[in-house]
């Protein structure tokens, strides 16, 4: 939580520097890949995502994963996790307990009305793609296709989609979901950094009627950076997902066989970012910008625009 903050006395400008944010995003890549690999060692276990499948055991109306998220986030809330501006619970914040320890004092890094606007929180969309697309993909959840563990053995030949490890699978789910959520919502810091660097570039598109979301997206998007990101992810997944022999030597495995003989299918990691993480991050970034002027005085807006004229723009 806020572990990208260098030290307590760090300046806001240093914390919001794009290079500083970039370092944190790269660290999150490693975290997410490892957590997805951990989840992939278990079967799909679709029962844990079915609403009411454990109703009698839990006395809870939602799914096993919903319950697991709620109980985990209750504990995290008591430990003040969600007082940090880079953390967003899947459980509605009003349903969580207050911290039992005094919240830390963070510098004002984000524009609060924008950061707390309901449209900026996309956890419901993250949960949807995770349950319906990512988990089935990394566990090879197709009828009649046995799920193989890292050592090549069939996890449950009778029902290859269900190995009964509901607690372990849900634990990995919660960890992966929280990391993916943190990565996607980090887009707010990117937007704030770029907005403060050149507010006059953004303000006309925010104030236009209707707001020019396409232009805003263009100001924060760099296709060449995204292309490099996907290459880096594939290389990391290829390395992290390989096996080693008893002497510590890497066992060569073709990419197309990594899903069965290795720990993870490289394409699934690339697809995770290409189809979901990157698009959802853009949505968060644009939605944040749409509300960046909420509560901002006209005097401040005029100063930002006047600064553009002084700089010759």
Provide the pLDDT for residue 145: 44
Rounded CA-CA distance 177/15 in Å is 25
Provide the pLDDT for residue 8: 52
Provide the pLDDT for residue 143: 36
Query: Taking residues 297-302, what's their average pLDDT?
Result: 96
Task: Check if the beta carbon of residue 30 is closer than 8 Å to that of residue 233.
Answer: no
Q: What does the angle CA 153 – CA 269 – CA 265 come to, to the nearest 5 degrees?
A: 25
Rounded CA-CA distance 238/256 in Å is 11
**Residue 300 to residues 110, 204, 297, 307: CA-CA distances in angstroms?**
16, 14, 5, 11
CATH number, span 12-310: 1.10.590.10
Question: Residue 142 — pLDDT band, cuts 50, 70, 90?
Answer: very low
Which residue from 136, 130, 133, 180 is spatially nearest to 43, judged by alpha carbons? 136
pTM here is 0.89
User: What is the pLDDT of the chain when averaged over all its residues?
Assistant: 88
- Whether 155 has a pLDDT exceeding 80, the answer reads no
The 10s digit of each residue's pLDDT in 188-201 is 999 999 999 999 99
Cis ω before 143 (30° cut-off from 0): no
Task: Give me the residue spans of the domains in the chain.
Answer: 12-310
Provide the pLDDT for residue 253: 73
Which residue from 187, 272, 285, 179 is spatially nearest to 234, judged by alpha carbons? 272
Q: Which residues pair with 244 in a beta bridge?
A: 250
Task: Check if the beta carbon of residue 44 is closer than 8 Å to that of residue 146.
Answer: no
- Whether 283 has a pLDDT exceeding 80, the answer reads yes
The DSSP result for 45-80, as a single string, is -GGGGSTTTTHHHH--SS-HHHHHHHHHHHHHHHTT
- Whether 72 has a pLDDT exceeding 70, the answer reads yes
- Between these two residues, 57 and 310, which has the higher pLDDT value? 57
- Whether 144 has a pLDDT exceeding 50, the answer reads no
Portion of the chain with pLDDT greater than 70, in percent: 86
- Between these two residues, 107 and 292, which has the higher pLDDT value? 292
- Whether 157 has a pLDDT exceeding 70, the answer reads no
Across 128-142, 154-168, 207-221, 253-267, which has the greatest mean pLDDT?
207-221
Rounded CA-CA distance 123/130 in Å is 10
Task: Check if the beta carbon of residue 89 is closer than 8 Å to that of residue 82.
Answer: yes
The 10s digit of each residue's pLDDT in 218-250 is 999 999 999 999 999 999 998 888 887 888 887
**Residue 150 to residues 184, 241, 243, 244: CA-CA distances in angstroms?**
29, 9, 8, 11
Helix (H, G, I), strand (E, B) or coil at 148: strand
């Amino acid at each position: 939580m806020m572990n990208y903050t260098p030290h307590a006395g760090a300046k806001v400008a240093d914390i919001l520097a794009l290079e500083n944010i970039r370092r944190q995003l790269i660290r999150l890549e490693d975290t997410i890949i490892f957590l997805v690999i951990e989840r992939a060692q278990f079967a799909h276990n679709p029962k844990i995502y079915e609403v009411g499948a454990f109703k009698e055991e839990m006395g809870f109306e939602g799914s096993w994963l919903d319950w697991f998220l709620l109980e985990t986030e209750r504990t995290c809330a008591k430990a003040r996790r969600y007082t940090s501006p880079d953390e967003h619970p899947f459980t509605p914040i009003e349903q969580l307990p207050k911290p039992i320890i005094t919240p830390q004092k963070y510098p004002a890094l984000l524009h609060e009305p924008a950061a707390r606007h309901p449209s900026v929180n996309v956890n419901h969309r993250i949960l949807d793609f995770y349950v319906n697309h990512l988990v089935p993909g990394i566990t090879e959840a197709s009828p009649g296709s046995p799920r193989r563990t890292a050592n090549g053995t069939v996890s449950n030949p009778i029902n290859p989609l269900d190995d009964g490890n509901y607690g372990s699978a849900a634990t990995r789910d919660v960890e992966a979901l929280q990391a993916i959520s943190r990565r996607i919502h980090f887009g707010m810091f990117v937007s704030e950094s770029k907005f403060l660097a050149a507010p006059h570039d953004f303000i006309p598109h925010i104030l236009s009627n209707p707001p020019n979301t396409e232009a805003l997206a263009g100001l924060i998007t760099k296709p060449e950076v995204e292309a490099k990101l996907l290459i880096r992810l594939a290389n990391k997944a290829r390395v992290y997902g390989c096996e080693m022999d008893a002497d510590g030597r890497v066992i060569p495995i073709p990419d197309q066989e990594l899903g069965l003989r290795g720990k993870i299918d490289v394409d699934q990691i690339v697809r995770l970012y290409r189809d979901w993480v990157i698009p959802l991050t853009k949505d968060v970034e644009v939605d944040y910008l749409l509300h960046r002027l909420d509560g901002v005085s006209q005097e401040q807006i005029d100063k930002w625009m006047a600064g553009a004229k002084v700089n010759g723009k």
